Copies of this chain bind each other. A is one copy, B any other.
């Protein structure tokens, strides 16, 4: 056990060659005799030599690390996203520096700035990030891809979930199986996903049930708000035949409100959510929902980012879209159980 860590000099001395040769061998640059290679490798192994990444970064200007700036979210979305990014990053020999758990613009700005110099590229998911934010906080030379963002600028390519199409497909399905009136529970007003899902609801209603009035109740993505919305819906006369919540947690809250009122789901009222969180499968009745592959989202983001880092011109449009699938379970009153891919467009 050496007390101090070995440097390239130590290896050079041990192998009786110059540091340049050590560098060449260890970086596989060629132009070195087999003898020298052997000597260097053995010396390096003997000394447990590991190149200092700081020194290397300093001169090469590359860190082989990509950063992920995420909001203070938790649960499946977070873990799957990180997992997708990490898996893809590791496959390309990149490390992942995460900065999650920040709330508020200033926090997000600090997180982005702190990444400066530590990463070769950035994946950003934050509701606080808009054009102005980026121009202010993002170093001009740092490639970045946005997730789930309304910013539409070739300088900052984005990958979005096709919330609109997903919502349209689900509402269409609800209408198709015979529920004439479909109510919608919204997400938080500032949320981009929520807005797109509402847009999809409106579009589907306009297309398939133009005579039906829109029935929109405010929610904020929490189970609690879903419960409140459910009670509100229950008080309506006539009661809607189906309810589409902008996310699964609200659908679950809504389900409890319906059960509490003694209603049968989907007999008395149909219900559907969005996200396909793990719970969706386990509530009774199992919740019909719209599934998004978050792992794919992460992977696509990383792929797009590495493309950017390698200087590939982004010939493609600034914004890409990740398709989602309608998952029909028991809560929507259709007696089928298949998964229909409604939007085969894929990012990456």
Residues of A within 8 A of B (CB): 1-5, 48, 50-55, 57-58, 63, 65, 72, 74-76, 78-80, 82-83, 86-87, 90, 95-102, 113-114, 116-118, 139-141, 252, 278-279, 282-284
Q: Which residue of B lies closest to A53 (CB)?
A: B117
What distance in Å separates the Cβ of A330 from its nearest Cβ neighbour in chain B?
13
Sampled A-B contacts (28; CB under 8 Å): A50-B116, A53-B116, A54-B117, A65-B118, A74-B79, A74-B80, A74-B83, A75-B278, A78-B79, A78-B82, A78-B83, A79-B82, A82-B82, A82-B98, A82-B100, A83-B101, A86-B100, A90-B102, A95-B118, A96-B97, A96-B99, A97-B97, A98-B98, A278-B278, A279-B279, A279-B282, A282-B283, A283-B283
Bound-complex Cα distance A140 to B284 (A): 53
Bound-complex Cα distance A100 to B52 (A): 22
Cβ–Cβ < 8 Å partners of A50 in chain B: 113, 116-117, 139
Q: Take A2-B140, A75-B278, A79-B75 as given contacts and tell me if A86 and B99 are in contact as well, using a CB distance cutoff of 8 Å.
A: yes
Task: Please tell me if the beta carbons of B101 and A90 are within 8 angstroms of each other in the complex.
Answer: yes
Task: Please tell me if the beta carbons of A55 and B53 are within 8 angstroms of each other in the complex.
Answer: no
Bound-complex Cα distance A57 to B58 (A): 9
Cβ–Cβ < 8 Å partners of A102 in chain B: 90
Task: Please tell me if the beta carbons of B141 and A5 are within 8 angstroms of each other in the complex.
Answer: yes
Q: Take A75-B76, A75-B278, A139-B5 as given contacts and tell me if A83 and B100 are in contact as well, using a CB distance cutoff of 8 Å.
A: yes
Q: Which residue of B lies closest to A110 (CB)?
A: B90
Q: Which 7 A-B pairs have the closest CB atoms?
A: A54-B57, A79-B79, A78-B79, A54-B58, A50-B116, A53-B117, A52-B117
